[in-house]
A and B are shown apart, each in its own frame.
Chain A
């Protein structure tokens, strides 16, 4: 049995304390950046479940992010249903799209699957831009509300008006989603995901219904990305087609690879590093893509298991628990 204070657990605990306390001491600008990091980290965590642990590389997660954001926005703004129904409906709709796209897409393997996800993302991007009546087109959709206050016992209410409250709201979802992924991956069900990522044919011959398992992983992954989209819509209050632009899906993948695909901390570390470094250096946005690409290249060549994978190898005493879940669809 692992001790309660293994290095990994201590690190998680410290990260959590910093994540909770840091916004109290820094200004609004930094808090808003932390909030965005938390949102992108949710997408990276959900992509990690699909790519890192199930071996299915999707370049189309911008689609689910966009579907979550626009579903939340349209239901709240155009249908006037209020935040909470819109929020939960958006999550369900993202999951449903994942399920429906997953059925044909997951029949394909390797690069063919990647292409279908990319194509889907491009289609969603075009629809979001073109269906002006529904989405507002290039002008975007404004006035997405913050979460309605939740009444608490003793006459108190939980409000989400402030930036800080919105930050904690987002952090809460990041933690819950990361924990759910952790539980999933460690379960017997999750082991079938990992088995598929290593060798799909062998998994199938061992009696694993690989199509069904991949579909479960894909649907959950799409659903969690939808959560991130809905959170973004509510935080930003304005959504533009930019959120569903397909390149965003690749940015998320870059974060995942830098952090370490197939590790729990990887997507979070990767998103933090890839967002914080350009921010700290005040890099011009046009240069950012170039620099991100360069960082990605360095990692693929020198540390394909990412930062978390590197740490894991460093800390593992037995030296063999380096457990990269990246399957044969692996990049590079």
Chain B
């Protein structure tokens, strides 16, 4: 069974249809890229999957559970992590604290535990801190844990935002343009990181515009245009698809 199954997803904003009847599925362990021209509904799709928007119609099944219209904070608890197009970290918190906060999904310490500093609370803190360090090591920020997140380069902040959603051990990672706004020379490192995440067994869904990157690393590609998937398949299949070429380059004019 697929890890993520989307069927007949529709989202309208007033008269505007952002996503119309979108259906696809993502198999466990795959790296799936979602591409499409600007305004095709890629980010809207992510917002629908993570509960930021409520779908107008359709169903989202994740890991066997119907999560259609769940609250944003619930999607994290179910094992779905998501980064944003605009790099989002807590800028005045340290790098380590950011990753600690990222694990709040599984937080068990309550009011009493926090005030009394019970053994349970202290043990959880220790565990969370240890996990944060190991995740920072994984994304390559091990030596930066005490720095405020806002002082990092754009590329390092991208790594940090990935570390934050990676820390609570998600099953599925939704990455919205993980290389957006990053220097060309630094993109390679981020691609390596995404590959490394997939190799560690986490399913990855990627929104990207950089075609060379998408073609080289994706298992499957879903092409969106006007809120619906116009093509789906392996990179080779998609690259030779007529509709895709039309969507990107415009229809061939009849001479």
Seen from chain A, the residues whose Cβ lies within 8 Å of a Cβ on chain B are 180, 183-184, 187-192, 194-195, 198-199, 202-210, 216, 220, 318, 320, 322-324
Contacts and interface: CB of A to CB of B under 8 A. Distances in A.
Contacts of A320: 147-148, 151
Contacts of A198: 90-93
A189 B82 contact: no
Contact of A209 (B73, B110, B114, B168): B73
A6 to B, nearest CB: 17
B117 A194 contact: no
B111 interface: yes
Contacts of B72: 204-205
Interface string B146-173: 1110010000000000001100100000
A202 B115 contact: no
27 contacts: A183-B114, A184-B111, A187-B109, A188-B124, A189-B107, A189-B113, A195-B93, A195-B101, A198-B90, A198-B91, A198-B93, A202-B88, A203-B101, A204-B71, A204-B72, A204-B73, A205-B50, A205-B82, A205-B84, A206-B76, A206-B101, A206-B104, A206-B165, A208-B101, A210-B73, A216-B111, A320-B148
Q: Which of A191, A202, A323 has the most CB of B within 10 A?
A: A191
Contacts of A318: 146
Contact of A191 (B74, B88, B97, B105): B97
Instruction: Classify the secondary structure of A's interface with B.
Output: helix
B76 to A, nearest CB: 2
Given A191-B100, A206-B101, A206-B102, A323 B92 contact: yes
B125 A195 contact: no
Contacts of A184: 111, 114-115
B191 interface: no
Contact of A183 (B52, B115, B146, B151): B115
Return the 9 tightest CB-CB contacts between A and B, nearest first.
Answer: A207-B76, A207-B105, A187-B114, A189-B114, A204-B72, A195-B101, A198-B90, A208-B104, A209-B73
B233 interface: no
Nearest to B91: A198
Q: Which of B88, B111, B121 has the most CB of A within 10 A?
A: B111
A219 to B, nearest CB: 9
Interface in B198-235: none
Nearest to A209: B73
A322 B75 CA distance: 33
B104 A187 contact: no
B58 interface: no
A199 B89 CA distance: 9
